[in-house]
Amino acid sequence: EDQVTQSPEALRLQEGESSSLNCSYTVSGLRGLFWYRQDPGKGPEFLFTLYSAGEEKEKERLKATLTKKESFLHITAPKPEDSATYLCATNSNSGYALNFGKGTSLLVTP
C-alpha cells in the first residue's frame, strides 16, 4: 500500500529563517511526486511535480527536491505570506489519482 508521510506536522519560523519540509514516501512505481500549498478556507494550489530522483524545481523562495525515498521542500528566507499548509502527494502504478500526506502547517512570523 502506498504511503506518504510528512514531517514536521507544524513548523514556526521567523521571517528570513530558512528551513525544509520533508515528505517520505513508499510507493510501487512512482509516476510523480506533487507539492501543493493550501491556504485556510481554500482548495490546494499546485506548486511542483517531480518525476525522478535527482530532479529539482524552484519557484520564488521554494525549491523542491526528490530522492528515491523522500522529497524536500526548501524554503529560503521565508516571508509571512508563505504561511500555509504544504501538502505532498504521490501518483503511482498501484493507485489512482493522487495519494496525499497529512501536510505540514507552516507559520512565518515577522
Q: Which residues bind other proteins (CB under 8 A)?
A: 31-32, 34, 41-46, 49, 87, 89, 91, 96-98, 100-103
Beta carbon of residue 32, minimum distance to other proteins (angstroms, whole number): 6
Quick one: 78 or 89, whose CB is closer to other proteins? Answer: 89
Quick one: 35 or 78, whose CB is closer to other proteins? Answer: 35
The x, y and z cell numbers of residue 29, run together, are 512505481
Quick one: 60 or 97, whose CB is closer to other proteins? Answer: 97
Beta carbon of residue 40, minimum distance to other proteins (angstroms, whole number): 11
Q: Give the CA distances from residue 9 to residues 58, 81, 95, 102, 108, in Å, rounded to whole numbers and listed in that order.
A: 23, 19, 24, 8, 15
Cis bond upstream, residue 8 (ω within 30): yes
The dihedral built from the CA positions of residue 103, 56, 27 and 98, taken in this order, carries a sign that is: positive
Beta carbon of residue 18, minimum distance to other proteins (angstroms, whole number): 26
Beta carbon of residue 7, minimum distance to other proteins (angstroms, whole number): 13
C-alpha span between 15 and 20 (Å, rounded): 14
